[in-house]
Every structure is written in structure tokens, then in C-alpha cells.
Chain A
Amino acid sequence: MKRTILILLLILAAVAVVSASDGDVKRFQLQNTFMGFGTGSRHQGDTHSANVLLGLDIAGTSMVVSGGLGLAGSILMYDMVKAFMGEVTKADIYISAGVLGAGIVTLIVSKALGLSYPLKY
């Protein structure tokens, strides 16, 4: 419940920031948010911010993909090993979950910066 409220608040804050912006800035913000990889900032001419967003989005996406796949694989593997051998360490699951979580946080930070950079430039 708390998590849902937090996500809704974040979305509302993002909508509020975008709504309050000028036409062009709004376009760059939406591009940074939905197209990602610093597309909006690059169109705006803010190369430095675009590179930062590009790096964050690549890292975040990679971590979400590999963490997600790793988590699914680890759970399947754990399940199989447990059925035959018994209880074993869950380290693989924790590592994958950690990478997935870090990826999600990285993408959230990237999106937040993607909204703020066009305002500052």
C-alpha cells in the first residue's frame, strides 16, 4: 500500500513538473522520460546532460534486464537444486534481486534528472 502511494506521488510530481514547463521544455522532458537515453537534452543542445542520461539509462536498463533474467533463472535453479539436493544458499537470488533493484533506482534517478535538466539548461 505504502509502495503504491509512493509510486503514485512520484508520477504526480513528474506530471506536475512537466505540466508547469514551457512548450519546448515540456517536449524535451517527455523525450528524456519516454524515449530515454538523453534524447530530449541532446535535441535541446545540452550535450553534457544528454551524456549523463545516456549513461544512466544504459546502466539502468542493463541492470534491470540482467537482474530480472538473473532473478528468474536463479529462482528456477534454486527450486530445482532444492528439489534434488535440499536447502542451499539463496545468494544467487539476492545478488540478482540487488542488481534489479539498483537498475530500477538508476532509471528512476535518470528520469528525475531527465525532467530537471531541460528546465536548468
Chain B
Amino acid sequence: MKIKKAVFIILASAIPVLLTGCFAINDAKVKYAESMAVLVVDYNGEVIRDLVYGDNPRNLYDLYLPEEVSGDGARHLILFIHGGSWTSGSKEDGEAYCRNYAAHGYTSASISYTLYDGDNTPTILTINQEVRAAVVAIEAKCAELGIILKDMAVSGFSAGACQAMMYGFNTACAYEDVPVRFIIQMSGPTSFEPSIWRSSDVHWAVRKRTGLDGSREGDAAWISMFSGKTVTPDMVGTPEAEAVWREISPYTYITSGSVPVLSAYGVHDGIVPPVSRVILEDALEKNGVPHDTVLMQHSGHALVSDVDKLREYLDLVYRYCAEWFPD
């Protein structure tokens, strides 16, 4: 009897250990569902899935056609690039956004792209080429369907937002026939300068994963991985290494002729350094580029804890469409 009581007491008092994080995770799930509900719209257009735009197995996209394909809006493309730290994610992640865009009359597409894994070592610049290839393929497919694309907006989340900015700002890579009119980006990294990723604002688990331990070896490996260029520890801190990380940092491509940018960042983001937003805004202001930033006070990286701000962000998306997509 005493043993049974003792076992019961031990088990009962172990509940907090078993419950660790349960309420927090459940709360996060509820908030995520509430945020996704903001994107849900009545959309009855055609979705064409798994279209191919390149040779890599992940070079696929889904095309979301507006209900009225002959409408003016259909000639404007809004492209979505998914996030996932360049190691995960897929075109399906953009479905809610693309359905929303298409329901508002715009042709929309979500792409998958090559990810880092054992076999593939893509770089920011090679993925940028994939984005361009996707735009070329989307234009051709739309023409086949009777939609002559006039221009586009490029959007994305996290890693996808970084790629969206790279495509939108790096005009040397862009496909001239479907010019980018503006960029819509959520939680996007804007700089690959190693020191900003070592900031204590970045969650320790992320810092551990990046391998940025403050050593020259860590910095060199970081720059090499994203650029695809060999940066040795001896080069770290030299103009040579700086030139390499600048080449893969979207903000360095901003000029006075850059397209407008609509951004959203979460105040509690512990995945992308918060200074990313400041770096971007400084560069945009310095060059006189129109921009807006929706700062979500309760959100982290995923931007799902400020439903009202998400609505405001969506309203801004369509205001940008009205303002920057010419008739």
C-alpha cells in the first residue's frame, strides 16, 4: 500500500515534466490557425499543380489562376517563394497566400527550389537563377493559357523572402519580359555578414546550427556555404571575404532605381537577426526607395501572433498592387 502511494506521488509530481511546453505549443498552434484563417478566401479558380520549370527534381511550381483569366489583374503575376532555411519547405507552403492573391484577380504561383542536402549544394545566386527560370516557364505557361503576363511582384517568407529580395533587387538576373514592380517579403534575411548572425538576439539553437561560434573557421564556412565560393579562415575580415558575403546579401543590390518593398517582421524573431530589418530600411531610405514595414509586436519569425497586423499587411499588399501594377 505504501509503495503504491509512493509510486502515485512520484507519478503525480512528474506531470510538470511530462507537460513541459504543452500549453505553449498548444497556444502556438491556436495562434497559427487563427492567422491562417485570415488568409482564407472564397476562391474557385483553377490550380495547375506540379508544373516543371527546370532539370532539378525540385524545379516545380503550382499555378493559381484567377477566376476571371481575361481580367486585367490576371496579367500581373505574384510569385511566392517558400521559406525553410534553405533546407526544407515546398511550394505547398505558399498555397494560402497564392489562393488569396488569385482570389483578388491576380495570377499567382508558388515555386519549389533546390535545397541543401547531401546531394545538392545550391547557393543564394544559383537559386536566384532558378527563380528566373521559373518566371520564364510561368510566362510561357500563362501564354499557353491565353494570359499574357505584363509584370510581376515577387514575394516570399524567410529564406524565400531573401530570395525574393535577391530576385527583385538584383536586376542583372531578372527576366526583362516580366519586370518586377515590387517586393513583398516576410521575415527575410537581408545580410549574410557573419557577425550579425552571432547576435544574442538570435536563438542559441539557431546560432549553434549555423556553426558561427566566433571562430574564423566558423565564419569562413558560413560564407562559403551560402556563396558557393571558397572562403578560407585567413580571408575572414578581409575585403575579399566581405565582397563574397556582400554578393549574397540582398541589401547590397539596393539602388535609387530599386522597386518598392513591403516587409513584415516579428519583434520576437529569434531565427533571423532583428537587425536585418534595420539594415534593409537604412538601405531603402538612403536610396529613396518607397517601402513599408509592418512590425508585429507579439510575433516571432512565423508572424502568426498578430492577427490584426496580418490583416493590415494583406491590405497593404493589395494597396501595393493597386499602386505599383500599372493599368
- The residues of A with any CB-CB pair to B shorter than 8 Å are 51, 54-55, 58-59, 62-63, 65-67, 69-71, 73-74, 77-92, 95-96, 99, 103
Contact status A96-B20, CB under 8 Å = yes
In the complex, A55→B13 CA distance in Å? 13
| Residues of chain B lying within 8 A (CB to CB) of residue A73 | 17, 20-21
Given known contacts A70-B16, A78-B21, A92-B20, what 5 new A-B pairs fall within 8 Å (CB)?
A77-B21, A84-B301, A85-B300, A87-B299, A88-B23
Contact status A92-B10, CB under 8 Å = no
> Could you tell me the distance in whole angstroms from the C-beta of B25 to the nearest C-beta in chain A?
6
As a 0/1 sequence over residues 1 to 44 of chain B, the CB contacts with chain A under 8 angstroms (1 = contact) are: 01001100110011111011111110110011000000000000
In the complex, A81→B22 CA distance in Å? 11
A-B pair number, CB within 8 angstroms: 126
Q: Is B268 an interface residue (CB 8 A)?
A: yes
Report the 6 A-B pairs with minimum CB-CB distance, sorted nearest first: A83-B270, A77-B21, A70-B16, A86-B305, A73-B20, A86-B299
| Residues of chain A lying within 8 A (CB to CB) of residue B31 | 85-86, 88
Contact status B20-A83, CB under 8 Å = no
Contact status A88-B16, CB under 8 Å = no
- The residues of B with any CB-CB pair to A shorter than 8 Å are 2, 5-6, 9-10, 13-17, 19-25, 27-28, 31-32, 203, 205-206, 266, 268-271, 296, 298-306
19 contacts between A and B (CB under 8 A): A51-B2, A54-B2, A55-B5, A55-B6, A67-B16, A70-B16, A73-B20, A74-B21, A77-B20, A81-B25, A83-B301, A84-B300, A85-B305, A87-B268, A87-B298, A88-B23, A88-B25, A88-B27, A89-B23
In the complex, A69→B20 CA distance in Å? 9
| Residues of chain A lying within 8 A (CB to CB) of residue B22 | 92
The 8 Å CB contact of B298, one of A54, A63, A77, A86, is A86
In the complex, A78→B22 CA distance in Å? 10
| A100 (CB) vs chain B CBs: closest residue | B16
Known contacts A83-B300, A84-B302, A86-B299; A78 and B271 CB within 8 A of each other: no
Known contacts A58-B10, A80-B205; A92 and B302 CB within 8 A of each other: no
| B306 (CB) vs chain A CBs: closest residue | A86
In the complex, A67→B18 CA distance in Å? 10
In the complex, A91→B19 CA distance in Å? 10
> Could you say which of B6, B21, B203 has the most chain A C-beta atoms within 10 Å of its C-beta?
B21
Known contacts A82-B270, A86-B300; A66 and B13 CB within 8 A of each other: yes
| A102 (CB) vs chain B CBs: closest residue | B13
Contact status A91-B6, CB under 8 Å = no
Known contacts A85-B302, A92-B20; A66 and B14 CB within 8 A of each other: yes
> Could you tell me the distance in whole angstroms from the C-beta of B5 to the nearest C-beta in chain A?
7
> Could you tell me the distance in whole angstroms from the C-beta of B127 to the nearest C-beta in chain A?
23
> Could you tell me the distance in whole angstroms from the C-beta of A40 to the nearest C-beta in chain B?
19
The 8 Å CB contact of A92, one of B19, B205, B298, B301, is B19
Known contacts A80-B203, A89-B24; A59 and B13 CB within 8 A of each other: yes
Contact status A85-B13, CB under 8 Å = no
Contact status A82-B21, CB under 8 Å = no
In the complex, A82→B300 CA distance in Å? 6
In the complex, A98→B222 CA distance in Å? 43
| Residues of chain B lying within 8 A (CB to CB) of residue A69 | 16-17, 20
In the complex, A66→B10 CA distance in Å? 9
| B205 (CB) vs chain A CBs: closest residue | A80
| Residues of chain A lying within 8 A (CB to CB) of residue B304 | 85-86
Contact status B266-A77, CB under 8 Å = no
The 8 Å CB contact of A59, one of B9, B17, B24, is B9
